[in-house]
C-alpha cells in the first residue's frame, strides 16, 4: 500500500484537467420553444482536428460569468469539425447561454464519461428509445450508427414527445422516417391539432411502442435516454419484453461540477456518473441503489 502511495507522489506534474479550451459559437438554431442547438468550433485549429468523442459522452461548457454546465454532445464523432450541443433553457446558466449568438466565445473541456458501447453493439440490432430532450445524446448515436450502417443489423428509433411543437430536430427526424434502413416509431403524449396529426397518429406513452418492435431481444442492444421519471417504466417494459439487462443502456443525469470524479456531486451508489457513467447498463440497478 505504502509503495503505491509513494508512487503517486513521485509522478511529474500532469496537465490541468479542469482548464477549458476557447470555442466559438458558429451556429444557433431554435429547435422548439426553449430548446436551441449550438454549434461550436475550437479557436485552436489543431484541437478541431484531434477532437474525438464517443456517442453518449458529454462536455463541460463555461458560460461566461454564469458558470460551467455539463451538456451531452449531440453531434456524431463521424462528422468532424464542429461539436453540437442541444440545450434546454431550464436554469440560470442555460438562460445566459440561450442569449448568446454566433461569434460569441465560450470555453469547453472534455469529452467526459464512458459513452455508449458502440463497438460492442456492432453486429447486433440497435433499439434507440428517446423521450423528449433525451434525443440529444441519442442523436449522436443515431448518426454514428447511420454513418457506419453496414456494421449494424436492424435499427429502430422510438421517439416520444409532448406534442409536435416540442419535437426536436423536426426535419432530421422526418428524413429519418423516410430512410429504408431505419425504422422509426414516433408517439405524442396527446394529439391536439393538425400539426400533431401530421407528425404521427400514435398517442400515448413511449412504453406502448416497445412491444411493437420486431427484433430478437437477445440479439439487440438498447440505448435509452429520457426524463428521470421515464426510466423505471421503460426499463420494466423492456425486461418484460425479454431484453437482457446487460444489453440495455441508460444515459443518466446528475449534478456535476468537475466531470472527472473529484467533486462528488454525481455519485450514484458507489459510482461516479461522470467517470463510470453517464451510460449505465440496466444491470447496474441491482448494485446501485437509487439509480433509476
**Site residues (vs other proteins, CB under 8 A):** 1-2, 5-6, 8-9, 11, 13-20, 22, 62, 64-69, 90-91, 93-94, 105-107, 228, 253-255, 257-258, 260-265, 267, 269-272, 275, 289-290
Nearer to other proteins among residue 154 and residue 257 (C-beta): 257
Q: Give 122-125's long-range contacts (Cβ < 8 A, gap of 24+).
A: 122/151, 122/152, 123/151, 123/152, 123/153, 124/152, 124/153, 124/219, 124/220, 124/221, 125/152, 125/153, 125/154, 125/155, 125/156, 125/215, 125/216, 125/219, 125/220, 125/221
Q: Which is nearer to other proteins, 196 or 276 (CB)?
A: 276
Give 123 or 269: the residue with its C-beta nearer to other proteins: 269
- Closer CB to other proteins, 125 or 226, in the complex: 226
Task: Provide the grid cell at 77.
Answer: 464523432
**Beta carbon of residue 116, minimum distance to other proteins (angstroms, whole number):** 21
- To other proteins, the closest distance from the beta carbon of 102 in angstroms equals 16
Minimum distance, C-beta of residue 36 to other proteins, in the bound complex (Å): 15
Smallest gap from residue 162 Cβ to other proteins (A)? 15
Is the CB of 17 or the CB of 211 nearer to other proteins? 17
Q: Which residue has the cell 428521470?
A: 228
Residue 2 is given by DSSP the state H
Q: How far is the CB of 100 from other proteins (least distance, A)?
A: 12
Nearest one of 183, 246, 177 to 215, comparing CA atoms: 183
Cα(164)–Cα(197) distance, integer angstroms: 8
Torsion of CA 102, 83, 128, 246, to 10 degrees: -140
Amino acid at each position: 500500500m505504502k509503495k503505491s502511495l509513494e508512487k503517486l507522489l513521485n509522478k511529474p506534474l500532469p496537465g490541468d484537467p479542469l482548464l477549458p479550451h476557447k470555442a466559438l459559437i458558429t451556429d444557433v438554431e431554435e429547435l422548439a420553444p426553449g430548446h436551441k442547438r449550438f454549434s461550436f468550433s475550437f479557436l485552436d485549429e489543431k484541437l478541431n482536428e484531434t477532437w474525438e468523442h464517443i456517442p453518449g459522452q458529454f462536455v463541460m461548457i463555461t458560460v461566461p460569468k454564469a458558470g460551467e454546465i455539463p451538456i451531452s454532445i449531440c453531434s456524431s464523432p463521424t462528422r468532424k469539425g464542429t461539436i453540437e450541443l442541444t440545450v434546454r433553457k431550464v436554469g440560470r446558466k442555460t438562460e445566459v447561454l440561450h442569449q448568446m449568438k454566433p461569434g460569441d466565445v465560450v470555453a469547453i473541456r472534455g469529452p467526459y464519461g464512458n459513452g455508449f458501447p458502440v463497438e460492442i453493439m456492432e453486429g447486433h440490432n440497435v433499439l434507440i428509445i428517446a423521450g423528449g430532450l433525451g434525443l440529444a445524446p441519442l442523436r449522436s448515436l443515431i448518426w454514428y450508427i447511420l454513418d457506419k450502417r453496414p456494421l449494424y443489423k436492424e435499427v429502430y428509433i422510438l421517439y416520444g414527445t409532448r406534442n409536435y411543437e416540442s419535437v426536436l430536430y423536426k426535419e432530421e427526424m422526418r428524413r429519418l422516417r423516410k430512410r429504408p434502413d431505419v425504422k422509426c416509431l414516433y408517439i405524442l403524449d396527446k394529439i391536439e391539432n393538425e400539426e400533431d396529426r401530421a407528425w404521427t397518429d400514435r398517442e400515448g406513452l413511449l412504453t406502448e411502442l416497445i412491444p411493437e418492435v420486431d427484433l430478437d431481444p437477445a440479439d439487440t442492444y438498447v440505448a435509452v435516454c429520457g426524463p428521470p421519471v421515464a426510466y423505471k417504466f421503460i426499463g420494466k417494459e423492456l425486461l418484460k419484453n425479454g431484453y437482457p439487462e446487460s444489453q440495455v443502456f441508460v444515459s443518466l443525469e446528475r449534478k456535476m461540477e468537475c466531470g472527472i470524479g473529484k467533486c462528488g456531486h454525481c455519485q450514484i451508489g458507489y459510482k461516479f456518473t461522470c467517470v463510470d457513467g453517464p451510460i449505465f447498463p440496466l444491470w447496474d440497478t441491482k448494485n446501485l441503489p437509487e439509480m433509476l
